């Protein structure tokens, strides 16, 4: 515990404590450490380790939901900018500007001759979404067909 009775920010997200570490929620100037992501991670850990065991029933359920939401937001702060850039690059490689154009091109058969590339891009996008929403759903072995920004792979 640090001063003021607050828990020390945990390091499970790999968020550096160096204020010069750069963007992606890791020490934006002029803000000091801990970063917003580290603070959110500390709140999630506090809810899970201190509050959850002390509650029951409906309140326990809501504490679990709150802890999950806080952890999700922390992951999005850290991973979101890189994932967004990787997704834009994947779409650009397929010759579309956004997901709606990709869906329209798939429906129209315009990318049928690039099916493997489309599968890889969609798989990587799903892996990126899961890395934020529920990393436990990702396959730990990294197996999969696609290459790109996906943190891991989802089952084919």
Is 99 part of a structural domain of the chain? yes
Residues 6 or more apart from 123 whose CB is under 8 A from it? 144, 145, 146, 150, 153, 154, 156
Share of the chain above pLDDT 70, in %: 71
Is 156 part of a structural domain of the chain? no
pLDDT of residue 33: 80
Give residue-wise pLDDT tens across range 114-151. Answer: 999 999 999 999 999 999 999 999 877 655 444 444 44
Is 129 part of a structural domain of the chain? yes
pLDDT of residue 153: 46
Query: In the structure encoding, which two tokens stand for residue 36, read together?
Result: 């917003």
Is 12 part of a structural domain of the chain? yes
Q: Where are the alpha helices (DSSP H) in 31-139?
A: 36-46, 57-94, 99-108, 115-133
Measured CA distances, 49 to 35, 52, 60, 67 (Å): 21, 6, 12, 10
Is 149 part of a structural domain of the chain? no
Q: Which domain holds residue 47?
A: 3-137
Supply the pTM of this predicted model: 0.68
Give residue-wise pLDDT tens across range 46-61. Answer: 999 999 999 999 999 9
What is the count of structural domains for the chain?
Answer: 1
Is 120 part of a structural domain of the chain? yes
Is 117 part of a structural domain of the chain? yes
Most distant CA pair in the chain, distance: 61
């Amino acid at each position: 515990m640090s001063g003021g009775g607050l828990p020390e920010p945990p390091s499970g997200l790999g968020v550096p404590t160096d204020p010069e570490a750069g963007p992606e929620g890791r020490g934006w100037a002029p803000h000091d450490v801990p970063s917003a992501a580290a603070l959110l991670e500390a709140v999630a850990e506090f809810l899970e380790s201190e509050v959850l065991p002390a509650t029951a029933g409906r309140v326990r359920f809501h504490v679990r939901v709150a802890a999950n939401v806080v952890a999700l937001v922390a992951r999005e702060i850290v991973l979101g900018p890189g994932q967004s850039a990787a997704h834009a690059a994947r779409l650009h490689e397929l010759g579309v500007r956004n997901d709606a154009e990709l869906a329209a091109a798939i429906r129209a058969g315009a990318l049928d001759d690039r099916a493997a590339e489309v599968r890889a891009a969609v798989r990587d996008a799903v892996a990126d979404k899961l890395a934020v929403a529920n990393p436990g759903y990702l396959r730990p072995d990294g197996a999969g067909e696609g290459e790109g920004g996906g943190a891991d792979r989802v089952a084919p």
